[in-house]
């Protein structure tokens, strides 16, 4: 009899798990409240709350705090939750909360970009962690039928607010998942990488995408600020013609507070250090699930490094795990995680994450449901091999740092060079910088993180070093170290190092049989690229000029990779000194780049040494069998 009843329930769609959650279902089963929640200093934050109509059980609260608006505004208007995997939380009966952070959109107060964490707040002093604490306190007291358990998650900037939420340590906050969290805007996220200004992202964010980031508003608003506008849709042409950064500053005007603060702090000073989200990773009480994309153009650095900081600062913590997949920024929240650009992953990695990691994590800690035993310390997808791996630590215990050396004639080999006085050189010309992408386009692409690098290899201002065809698989898991012996003819330069997987000439995917597909034979897949501003080779705090023609070491870390260079492929390293307009042009003189003039940009001859005394090299964390 029970079997018959269950069968009928499934057929009629009454079963909760079989229920199709569409817009009608959510509207029939949920109610929306819009409220202002008062913070300890009297400022009110606009909050949208989606509450299950069912009172048969107590419901957990899942919250996202965002500077990007909790719109659509209006008690009868719902976001399109049913179009993505977040519909699963509605099926599970979560109370879903979205809040405009302080000073953004419909919330009151002053907005501060990456507001510093204040570990010693007193009285009515606030930061983002206290705003989270006060919001949770109000929700618990004012939303009926909550079960007393709260979770917070968010991607990118909401990832930053998730890190700050964890630092609130509200006793009801049981689980937090910062995803691609903004962490440090000078060292590795969004607007700077190793001190080099990620010009295109920064300008586009504040002039277009940010909807008025940094623009003060005296009262709540529901409509974003207008773009400054662009005269053409070719980003290479636009940024080259604008010229020096100070000309971009004229376009933003005086109203963008953070842009002006940014150019006033060209080095890694106390102002930047206070805005490092890792400051908030001490003494964390909630369970933490950090999430990142191995091919995330915006915040690849943040996920790895906040996780590491939380591990270091909370030794013995029961649950502090990380998931890293082969994704662009936020791709794990999309329906399709089968590929990025031309690179195929062999399965839908996004759905795998949603089903096996995030939903299980929150259900376990907020509902006491399910199993998290399969969530390892580090859950990492290795591209090339196209398989998920579980590790007890990151980097893996069974990785070995192996050094591969640049050689004369563009070779790359494990043996140290034995020749004397050997180098390769190129002329870096700011008037003709190396493009980061081959195609003409306007918005920065997300596919460039895996794109074909053959266009760059053909340029005279890009050095190419390459192994022979690999006779066995080479799996690299962890941070790569570039250690360059170099001299330059001027007083400053940038160094871009790219780790590349060269596919066999006869390689093809099954999907390549489709008409007009990209030719994958000989494809040069970018596995990791990173820039380093040479003036910071000794310290990010105290830049120093190069002495022309003096041989010096430029050594820096590239964010972790997880990739298998398969037998029959080759490993390539490319070196260049511009990556435009992704990165601003270095004038190649030791001057204030944010305030220099168009005529300050000069050519520089860059030499990369590969001899017995000055041996440029790459240190690879190789996974051992």
- State the span(s) of the chain assigned CATH 2.60.120.260: 399-623
CA atoms within 13 A on the CB side of 366: 29
To the nearest whole number, what is the mean pLDDT of the chain?
Answer: 93
Would you state the structure tokens that stand for residue 366, as one six-digit string? 């907020």
Tens digit of each residue's pLDDT (9 = 90 or more) over 566-592: 999 999 999 999 999 999 999 999 999
The pLDDT-based confidence of 479 (bands split at 50, 70, 90) is: very high
Q: pLDDT-derived band of residue 1, with 50, 70 and 90 as boundaries?
A: very low
Say if residues 21 and 41 touch (Cβ distance below 8 Å): no
- Residue 258 or residue 514, greater confidence: 258
Structurally, what CATH architecture does the domain formed by 399-623 represent? Sandwich (2.60)
Model confidence band, residue 176 (pLDDT cutoffs 50, 70, 90): very high
Mean pLDDT of 337-356: 97
Q: What separation in angstroms does the CA of 182 have from each of 38, 295, 296, 464?
A: 26, 15, 12, 33
**Residue-wise pLDDT tens digits, 605-622:** 999 999 999 999 999 999
Residue 403 DSSP label: E
* Contact (Cβ atoms closer than 8 angstroms) between residue 150 and residue 139: yes
Across-strand partners of 175? 151, 287
Q: Has residue 9 got a pLDDT over 70?
A: no
CATH architecture, range 2-186+275-391: 3-Layer(aba) Sandwich (3.40)
- Give 322's pLDDT tier (boundaries 50, 70, 90): very high
Q: In the predicted model, is pLDDT for residue 537 greater than 90?
A: yes
Instruction: Flag the least confident range among 39-43, 178-182, 232-236, 587-591.
Output: 232-236
Convert the pLDDT of each residue in 420-472 to its tens digit: 999 999 999 999 999 999 999 988 999 999 999 999 999 999 999 999 999 99
- How does DSSP classify residue 116? P
Q: What is the pTM of this model?
A: 0.95
- What percent of the chain is predicted at pLDDT more than 90? 87
Q: How far is CA 296 from CA 278, 326, 333, 445, 588, in A?
A: 19, 8, 13, 11, 28
Q: How confident is the model at residue 7 (pLDDT cuts 50, 70, 90)?
A: very low
Cross-strand bridge partners of residue 570:
502
Residue 17 clears pLDDT 60, i.e. is over it: no
Tell me which of 63-67, 215-219, 529-533 is least confident: 215-219
**What b-and-e string marks burial along 49-69, b requiring 16 or more CB atoms within 10 Å of the CB?**
bbbbeeeeeebbbbbbbbbbb
Spatial distance between the Cα atoms of 255 and 192, rounded to a whole number of angstroms: 21
| pLDDT tens by residue, 366-390 | 999 989 999 999 999 999 999 999 9
CA–CA gap between residue 620 and residue 476 (Å, rounded): 7
- Tell me: pLDDT of 209 over 60: no
């Amino acid at each position: 009899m029970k079997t018959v009843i269950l069968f009928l329930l499934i057929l009629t769609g009454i079963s909760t798990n079989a229920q199709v959650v569409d817009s009608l279902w959510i509207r029939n089963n949920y109610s929306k409240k819009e409220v202002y929640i008062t913070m300890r200093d009297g400022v009110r934050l606009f909050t949208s709350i989606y509450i299950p109509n069912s009172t048969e059980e107590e419901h957990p609260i899942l919250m996202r705090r965002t500077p990007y608006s909790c719109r659509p505004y209006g008690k009868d208007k719902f976001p399109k939750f049913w179009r993505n995997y977040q519909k699963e939380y509605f099926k599970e009966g979560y109370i879903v909360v979205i809040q405009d952070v302080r000073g953004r959109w419909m919330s009151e107060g002053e907005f501060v970009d990456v507001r510093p964490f204040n570990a010693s707040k007193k009285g009515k002093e606030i930061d983002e962690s206290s705003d989270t604490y006060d919001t949770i306190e109000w929700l618990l007291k004012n939303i009926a039928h909550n079960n007393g358990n709260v979770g917070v998650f968010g991607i990118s900037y909401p990832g930053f607010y998730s890190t700050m939420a964890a630092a609130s340590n509200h006793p009801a906050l049981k689980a937090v998942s910062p995803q691609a969290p903004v962490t440090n805007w000078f060292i590795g996220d969004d607007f700077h990488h190793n001190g080099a200004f990620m010009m295109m992202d920064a300008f586009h964010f504040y002039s277009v995408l940010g909807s008025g980031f940094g623009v003060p508003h005296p009262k709540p608003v529901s409509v974003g600020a207008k773009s400054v506008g662009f005269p053409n849709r070719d980003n290479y042409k636009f940024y080259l013609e604008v010229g020096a950064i100070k000309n971009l500053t004229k376009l933003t005007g005086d109203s963008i507070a953070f842009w002006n603060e940014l150019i006033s702090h060209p080095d890694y000073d106390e102002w930047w250090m206070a805005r490092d989200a890792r400051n908030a990773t001490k003494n964390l009480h909630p369970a933490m699930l950090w999430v990142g994309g191995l091919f995330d153009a915006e915040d690849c650095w943040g996920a790895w490094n906040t996780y590491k900081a939380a591990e270091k600062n909370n030794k013995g913590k029961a649950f502090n795990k990380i998931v890293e997949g082969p994704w662009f920024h936020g791709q794990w929240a999309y329906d399709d995680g089968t590929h990025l650009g031309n690179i195929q992953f062999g399965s839908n990695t996004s759905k795998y994450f949603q089903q096996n990691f995030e939903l299980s994590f929150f259900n376990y800690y907020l509902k006491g449901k399910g199993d998290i035993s399969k969530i390892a310390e580090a859950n990492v997808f290795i591209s090339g091999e196209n398989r998920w791996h579980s590790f007890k630590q990151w980097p893996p215990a069974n990785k070995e740092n192996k050094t591969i050396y640049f050689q004369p004639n563009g070779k790359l080999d494990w043996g140290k060079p034995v020749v004397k006085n050997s180098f390769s050189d190129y002329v870096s010309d700011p008037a003709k910088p190396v493009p980061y992408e081959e195609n003409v386009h306007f918005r920065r692409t997300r596919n460039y993180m895996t794109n074909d690098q053959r266009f760059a290899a053909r340029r005279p201002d890009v050095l190419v070093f390459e192994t022979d065809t690999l006779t066995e698989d080479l799996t690299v898991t962890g941070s790569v170290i570039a250690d360059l012996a170099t001299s330059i003819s001027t007083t400053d330069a940038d160094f871009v190092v790219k780790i590349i997987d060269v596919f066999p000439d006869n390689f093809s995917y099954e999907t390549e049989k489709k008409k007009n597909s990209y030719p994958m034979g000989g494809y040069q897949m970018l596995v990791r690229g990173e820039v380093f501003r040479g003036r910071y080779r000794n310290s990010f705090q105290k830049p120093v000029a190069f002495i022309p023609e003096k041989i010096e070491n430029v050594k820096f870390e590239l964010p972790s990779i997880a990739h298998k260079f398969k037998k029959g492929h080759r490993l390539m390293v490319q070196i260049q000194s511009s990556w435009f307009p992704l990165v601003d042009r270095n004038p190649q003189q030791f001057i204030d780049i944010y305030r220099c003039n168009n005529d300050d940009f000069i050519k520089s001859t860059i030499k990369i040494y590969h001899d017995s005394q000055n041996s440029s090299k790459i240190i690879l964390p190789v996974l051992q069998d």
